[in-house]
Chain A
Amino acid sequence: MRYGRGPEILRDLSFDLPRGSFQFLTGPSGAGKTSLLRLIYLAAKPSRGLISYFGRDAATLPRNELPDLRRRVGVVFQEFRLLGHMNVFDNVALPLRVAGRKRQDYAEDVAELLAWVGLGEKMNALPATLSGGEQQRVAIARAVVGQPEVLIADEPTGNVDPEMGMRLLRLFAELNKLGTTIIIATHDLQLVRMLDAPVMTLSNGHLHIRPPRSERLRMREEAEAEAEAERVSAAPAVAAPRTPDPDDPSNPDTDMTGGHDD
């Protein structure tokens, strides 16, 4: 895709998000993570290419079907996009209200969710009076309150302390267990390392997918087993070269999948 007449910032990417999967999206600042997510949550149309969405082609999707699809997707924006004139409670309840649900039916649930993200005392506060991390948690609560089928989070832990970050990640993992497809864009490699999930890395407009650690370990074991078998058969024992730490995603050497950037 491209913005206006600017350069093409994303090109030739092809991937799919299986239902119920959990993915990380990383890449240097400006690599196009937000842009890719915008495509996924239907805030932008691709200048070319195909996005198929719950089995529908986004490019030909009639406008009147968008609201329904969007209700199935929760989004945490990098810049939160809270409504400044409404208090925390109303901000979080927004998707439910827009879907036409009655306040008395959801008030308890919203309060409970807010308490869970540690904002039980701030329900009546306006977003402008909250800290960055608090606003971020409001944005997350708003994204998950409607129990979407897909949750898209752009830097959802960028403004919170590591402990709260872990907690939010646990919330995401919990939702994922309940069947929500989750994609999280983040710079935070600490966070990426916490879960055994595939990591998509964007750079120069290209996407590079690394399978989850468990799979990589399995592949390495297989490879080592093979190598071992060869060594055993080929006699002279040579010290095995030290393998780099597989947990360090910044180390390109750990990528075992090769050829995934298409």
Chain B
Amino acid sequence: MTDGLPKPPSGGNGRLLPPDAGRDRPLFVVAAILVFLACIAALGARGAWLQAQRWTTDLETSLTIQIRPGESRDAEADATLAAEITAGFDGVEQATSRGRDHALALLTPWLGEGNLPDDLPLPLLVDVRTRPGSLVDTEGLQARLDAEGMTARIDDHGRWAQAVRRAAGTAQALGLGLLALLAGAAAAVIAFAARASLAARLDVIDALHLCGAEDRFIAGLFQRRFFMLGLKAGVAGAIFAGLVSLLVSLGDAPADMAFFLPQWASDPFEFVLLALAPILAGLTSAISARLAVASDLRGRW
């Protein structure tokens, strides 16, 4: 009765799940913000670690020797001698004795210029730069200086390095803890949204079920949808986080602030992290959506 059958519509399959713009957009924004914060936290933890590394190598490659002026001793000569002796030690790159002028300059900010009597005994400093990665035998050095009869104190900054490292460790743990919390929050938000989306689409679910769709099939639909949502939100959040950290490192924040801000060190780590973020966001979203939907479906007959 129909001559020439009508052609089936060309093009792919229509979407089984209707687009859900009203719900998806706010969810996208929330997910993007979570990814952004997670990236910032990760970059911050990384920044703290880098900064600490830089400072501790600075501290670890330098020693300071303090020469106390003693009775009937020429402090300037002692300092020069100490520099010479130190320069002969293994691992020392350079030892410079700082004269009285340097010591005075260090005090000026506190005491003002010219307020000190010329004959006031001042401790003199010897700056020692060591080769990175090599240990200087500070005990041997102390013994040598003592043998010369001078009152010298070697400060290897170990205390400071340790403090910096501890602070960096704390900042890092904070960053990672924050990361874990954000991941948990993201998973919960997605699970909630997936359940809501399932509930709003019960007509579709029923129709699919009665057509013989398996739970796996239906859960797969939601999984794909939420993977895409997580992926897109992840891309947006990661790009934004990258921009912010770039801005932070372009503007010169003081070092103590930079400690807590994400730094764009433009090394592969940043790129890997930012590239991984959308994928991780997509996977987190897909898995939590799948689990939520599967558990909801099991409750229905």
A and B form one complex: yes
- List A residues at the B interface (Cβ < 8 Å): 41, 43, 45, 63-64, 66-71, 75, 81-87, 89-90, 93-95, 97-99, 103, 107-108, 110-112, 114-116, 120-121, 123-124, 142, 146
Q: Flag if B6 contacts A68 (CB, 8 Å).
A: no
Known A-B contacts A83-B203, A120-B2, A123-B6; the reply to A43 vs B210 at CB < 8 A is yes
Highest count of chain A CB atoms <10 Å: which of B7, B9, B203, B210: B210
Residues of B within 8 A of A81 (CB): 203, 206-207, 210
The complex places the Cα of A103 from the Cα of B16 at a distance, in Å, of: 14
Whether the Cβ atoms of A111 and B8 lie closer than 8 Å is yes
**Which of B6, B207, B208, B301 is in CB contact (< 8 Å) with A63?**
B301
A205 CA / B213 CA spacing, docked (Å): 32
Q: Which residues of A contact B2 (CB under 8 A)?
A: 115-116, 120
**A90-B13, A123-B8, A123-B9 in contact; A85/B208 too (CB < 8 A)?**
no
Tell me, yes or no, whether B268 is within 8 Å of chain A by CB: no
Nearest CB in chain B to that of A124: its residue: B9
Chain A residue numbers with a CB within 8 Å of B7 are 111
Q: From known contacts A87-B14, A90-B14, A98-B212, infer whether A120 and B5 are also in contact, taking CB-CB under 8 Å.
A: yes
B212 to chain A, nearest CB (A): 3
B residues whose Cβ falls under 8 Å from a Cβ of A: 2, 5-9, 12-16, 18-19, 203-204, 206-215, 217, 298, 301
Contact sample, A vs B, 5 pairs, CB 8 Å cutoff = A43-B206, A83-B203, A94-B211, A98-B208, A110-B8
Question: Looking at chain B's contact residues, is the secondary structure mostly helix, strand, loop, or mixed?
Answer: loop
Asked if A108 and B212 sit within 8 Å, CB to CB, the answer is no
Give the Cβ gap from A150 to chain B, nearest Cβ, in Å.
Answer: 12
Q: Per a CB cutoff under 8 Å, which of A71, A84, A99 touches B18?
A: A84
Q: Which of B6, B9, B19, B209 contacts A70 (CB 8 A)?
A: B209
A94 to B204: give the CA distance in the assembly, Å.
Answer: 11
Contact of A114 among B6, B15, B209 (CB under 8 A): B6
A97, B212: Cβ atoms closer than 8 Å: no
A112→B16 CA distance, assembly (Å): 22
Given A63-B301, A85-B15 in contact, is the A70-B211 Cβ separation under 8 Å? Answer: yes
Contact B19 A85 (CB under 8 A): yes
